[in-house]
Chains A and B, each alone.
Chain A
Amino acid sequence: MSTALDEVQTPLNDNTAVASEAAPVLLSVDNVSLSFGGVKAISDISFNILKGEVRAIIGPNGAGKTSMLNVINGFYHPQEGRISYKGKTRKRMKPHQAAASGIARTFQNVALFSGMSTLDNIMSGRSLKMHRGLIWQMLHVGPARNEEIAHRQFVEGIIDFLEIAHIRKQPVGKLPYGLQKRVELGRAMAMQPELLLLDEPMAGMNLEEKEDMSRFILDLNSEFGTTIALIEHDMGVVMDLADRVVVLDYGQKIADGTPSEVQANQNVIDAYLGVAS
């Protein structure tokens, strides 16, 4: 039980400083191309994510942002290019291997386990950290019980952090959308990821919910040192949260840099506003 308490109190890593250019590269995407039949979703994109930063991926609809996340966590396998994560280059990776190596994500359309309670949903994020075998689970005594309680304790820390204690026992299917998004963030947090991919964490939220969510993302980044890559359409949010932004359009990278650099980039302005012909 004591081990779990330590886990709660000591953040994942103590890299609390905002990423600077000197921070090591956590993930780098090199010349990745992905196509479905004749449709090229991503063509020849390279960028990197530094340890401890908040990296935004933006672009108009259909730019290939979600495909990019799917490539990163092994859901799609790119035809060309390579991805190195924590210095290791990988060829093909299954999603559960990505999960085991410390990549977690949330989904554009909430993908919670609708038949389970908030607590169970977040507990499910601990799956990879629980190791007791079937026999112990069947008896549910001793080590299996202690393991369950230790992880419950950890999960309660997340529930506190996200301020969702009041819906702990409720089935998630009935929760309002904003809370569902928050539970989904909690579920991803429970995996204690090194790299957290957020696919439109604020889509469809009102201003207050967006502000709450932004606060959680910033706290998560600074308190736990989690590296975050997020896709978001709300430019205000992106400019405030992100350390660096990569802009995609029609599967191609058109800009990469700090929010202010990207904002001033002519290609980006053209992509968003259109070009007079």
Chain B
Amino acid sequence: MFYREAGQFKTTYADDQALLPIAQDRVGLIIVLAIAFLVLPIVASDFFLSSIMIPFLVFALAAIGLNILMGYAGQLSLGTGAFMGVGAYSCYKLTTIFPDLNILIVLLLSGFFSAGVGVVFGLPSLRIKGLYLAITTLAAQFFLEWCFIRVGWLYNYNDSGAIEVPQRELFGLAVTGPHATPETRYLIILTIVAVMTLVAANVLRGRIGRSWMMIRDMDIAAELMGVRPLYAKLSAFAFSSYYCGVAGALMVFMWLGSAEVEAFDINHSFLVLFMVIIGGMGSLTGCFMGAAFIWVLPVILRAIPPAFELDILAATMEHISSIIIGALIIFFLIVEPHGLARLWRVGKEKLRTWPFPYAT
């Protein structure tokens, strides 16, 4: 009833091409951002911020990275975990080699290493398509995992074999390391994710994003329209891996505090892959929905029994939540194989015409 664009006339192409052409969407986004930036840091508990919101944002960013590659450019990848690892390890190396460099710059620089590695492992995509390409990206996953274990230089020959995040400060405020408060870490991560999402949206609606979608939908026609598959595919790999790399760096520096190779294993790649599939391929909103579904929902489910003082073992609850999540995944994929984002869009379409579903 309230979600309707009646009366909102576009008089310029600039208005028509805006990211959110409908005013209600813009207001909604502003409200969400206001809550995320202003209300949550004040209201939310430390547990909520550091165990729900921070991982949620990290995974959403990684899902955006994978979605650019899979949903927009049509190249399957199972190497997300490893690409995140490259980001994390290069961030660690950079900040230990240049301790005085601004940590934000280090975080954003580390993505470039990941992008470079992504391009190298994206080379097979010029010859191989679909599931076969996914198998070749497994090579990236296993090779990089091997590097994280065997190349001691990457973790400064630490006895534990893990990377320990040193304390770094921004404007005299600890942002990484054990003394950083969840609020600071949350706000930094939120800012980075918000800006990077906007950048992704901009790229995707322009010439470069269109060339990725052309390759995805019909590569022969794309080539005949002047898109060079080499550039389009490798740039998609680079861009996607950059996002994954920054997500990995944020994961270790802002969330976990220290990490071993297990944090970047194949299960991690699958987790992000599921987020993209559940959320919706080819949708940025879907990345956030998928991350919320796969990460936040189990945390909430596990928190239910203690809240109602039910006497269920933690292990049992773990299993129950797995069952519920599994059932929900099946349910949503049957209802809408294109993911939660499509469900959301269909819902909005229905709202626009309600209560006259045949009036278009």
A: which residues have CB within 8 A of B? 73, 75, 94-96, 98-100, 104-105, 107, 111-116, 120, 123-128, 130, 132, 134, 137-140, 144-145, 148-149, 152-153, 156, 187, 191
Judge whether B14 and A115 touch: CB under 8 Å.
Answer: no
**10 chain-A/chain-B pairs, Cβ below 8 angstroms:** A100-B226, A104-B224, A111-B220, A115-B213, A124-B213, A125-B225, A128-B225, A137-B207, A152-B16, A191-B226
Chain B residues lying within 8 Å of A125, measured Cβ to Cβ, are: 225
Evaluate contact between A112 and B218: CB separation under 8 angstroms.
yes
**Is the CB of B199 closer than 8 A to any CB of chain A?**
yes
User: Does chain A have a CB within 8 A of B208?
Assistant: yes
**Contact of B17 with A137 in the complex, beta carbons under 8 Å:** no
Q: Are B221 and A137 in contact (CB under 8 A)?
A: no
B213 and A113 contact, CB distance less than 8 A: yes
Instruction: List residues of chain B with CB within 8 A of the CB of A134.
Output: 203, 208, 235
CB distance from B126 to the nearest CB of A (A): 13
Instruction: A58 to B336: give the CA distance in the assembly, Å.
Output: 46
A113 in contact with B217 given A138-B202, A140-B206 (CB within 8 Å): yes
Contact A152 B17 (CB under 8 A): yes
| Chain A hits for B213, CB < 8 A | 113, 115-116, 120, 124
Instruction: Taking A75-B220, A113-B214, A116-B214 as given, write out 4 further A-B residue pairs in contact, using a Cβ cutoff of 8 Å, ordered by the A residue number.
Output: A112-B218, A115-B216, A127-B227, A132-B206
- 1/0 contact trace for B174-204 toward A, CB 8 Å? 0000000000000000000000000100110
Instruction: Indicate whether B282 reaches chain A with its CB closer than 8 angstroms.
Output: yes
Within the complex, the shortest CB–CB distance from A220 to chain B, in Å, comes to: 18
The one of A100, A105, A112, A137 in contact with B203, judged by C-beta atoms closer than 8 angstroms, is: A137
B223: Cβ under 8 A from any A Cβ: yes
Closest chain A residue to B199 by CB distance? A138
Query: Chain B nearest CB: distance from A86 CB in Å?
Result: 17
Q: In the bound complex, how far is the Cα of B235 from the Cα of A56, in angstroms? A: 40
Tell me whether A191 and B206 are in contact in the complex, defined as CB-CB below 8 angstroms, given that A124-B214, A152-B13 are known contacts. no
Q: Which of B203, B214, B218, B226 has the most CB atoms of chain A within a 10 A radius of its CB?
A: B226
- Which residues of B from 229 to 254 have beta carbons under 8 Å from A? 235
Closest-CB distance, A2 to chain B (whole angstroms)? 14
Closest 4 A/B residue pairs (Cβ): A99-B226, A113-B217, A140-B202, A128-B226
- Asked, given contacts A115-B217, A116-B213, A116-B217, whether A98 binds B203 with beta carbons under 8 Å apart, the answer is no
A-B contact count (CB 8 A): 102
B26 contacts the other chain (Cβ, under 8 Å)?
no
Nearest to B224 among chain A residues (CB) is A95
A115 touching B282 in the complex, CB below 8 Å, given contacts A127-B214, A148-B17, A149-B14: yes
Interface membership of B228, Cβ < 8 A? yes
Per the CB 8 Å criterion, the residue count for chain B at the interface is 31
Instruction: Tell me, in angstroms, the Cα distance from A145 to B14 when the chains sit together.
Output: 8
- A95 contact set on B, CB distance < 8 A: 220, 223-224
The closest CB in chain A to the CB of B201 belongs to A140
Question: What are the residues of chain B within 8 A of A73 when measuring CB–CB?
Answer: 224
Q: Report Cα–Cα, A126/B16, bound state, in Å.
A: 18
Count chain A CB atoms within 10 A of each CB in B220, B223, B282 and give the residue with the most: B223
Cα(A138)–Cα(B197), bound, Å:
10
B-chain residues with CB within 8 Å of residue A111 when the two chains form the complex: 218, 220-221
Once the chains bind, are B17 and A127 in contact (CB under 8 Å)?
A: no
| CB within 8 Å for A114 and B203 given contacts A99-B225, A124-B210, A148-B17 | no
Chain A residue numbers with a CB within 8 Å of B227 are 96, 127
B85 CB to nearest chain A CB (Å): 25
CB pair B218 A140 closer than 8 Å: no
Contact check, B203 vs A107: say whether CB atoms are below 8 A apart. no
Contact assessment for B220 and A123 in the assembled complex, using a CB-CB cutoff below 8 Å = no
Q: A113-B213, A152-B13, A152-B17 are in contact. Are A124 and B206 (CB under 8 A)?
A: no
With contacts A134-B208, A138-B202 taken as known, whether A98 is within 8 angstroms of B224 at the C-beta atoms is yes
Q: Which of B257-285 contact A (CB under 8 A)?
A: 282
Min distance, Cβ A5 to any Cβ of chain B, angstroms: 12
Q: Are B218 and A114 in contact (CB under 8 A)?
A: yes
Interface hub of A100, A105, A124, A145 (most chain B Cβ within 10 A)? A124
- Cβ–Cβ < 8 Å partners of A112 in chain B: 217-218, 221
Kindly state the separation between the CA atoms of A153 and B12 in the bound complex, as whole angstroms. 10
What 0/1 readout, one digit per residue, does chain B (111-147) give for beta carbons within 8 Å of chain A? 0000000000000000000000000000000000000
B75 within 8 A of A: no
